[in-house]
Amino acid sequence: MARVGLYPGSFDPITVGHIDIIQRALTIVDHLVVAIGKSATKSPLFKLEERLAMIEEEIGPMAAARSVRLDVTSFDSLLVDAARQHDARIIIRGLRTAADFEYEAQMTAMNRTMAPEIETVFLPASPEVGFVSSTLVRQIAGMGGSVEKFVPTSVLNKIIALK
């Protein structure tokens, strides 16, 4: 039976921090679903279709090199329902800080109560990218700062094109 993992996030934009977690997730699953959660309260920098394409472009070759099936999708439901929809038995979450752990531990307990068949796996961010967040990237870019160290080159080019 294939080990299916679901890695959720906004990925607006996908950062080197996301890629760090995804590269390691590709070593523990046979099939990775990268799922963009739709939010009614956030106004994204990139449209959903653009984010889907950026993830596919960046992660597709990595997944293929490891013979891991990759699906890039979106969801607007409970995370456990999205996991069930894709037959994922593993939810992958990246942790940057202790505050992330506090929040994620609470969410994991709620998810486990609703879906005991689904496990959550925490992957701590590598030290060199543990401070990177999509929110900070958007803020820095929005104020004219350079984000080249925080996003892949193809994403950087798309951010520059928005100006």
Catalytic, 146? Answer: no
Cβ-contact 5, 122 below 8 angstroms:
no
Catalytic residue among 89, 93, 134, 158: 134
| Per-residue pLDDT at 41 exceeds 90 | no
Domains of the chain: 4-162 (3.40.50.620)
Please tell me the predicted confidence (pLDDT) of residue 40.
Answer: 66
Closest CA to 5 of 94, 139, 128, 121: 121
Catalytic, 149? Answer: no
Catalytic residue among 42, 47, 69, 149: 42
| pLDDT tens per residue, range 78-130 | 999 999 999 999 999 999 988 889 999 999 999 999 999 999 999 999 999 99
Cα(53)–Cα(67) distance, integer angstroms:
20
Cα(53)–Cα(127) distance, integer angstroms:
27
Please tell me the predicted confidence (pLDDT) of residue 43.
Answer: 78
Catalytic, 126? Answer: no
Please tell me the predicted confidence (pLDDT) of residue 98.
Answer: 86
Q: Which helix (DSSP H) or strand (DSSP E) does residue 69 occupy?
A: strand 69-75
Catalytic, 42? Answer: yes
Catalytic residue among 66, 84, 86, 96: 96
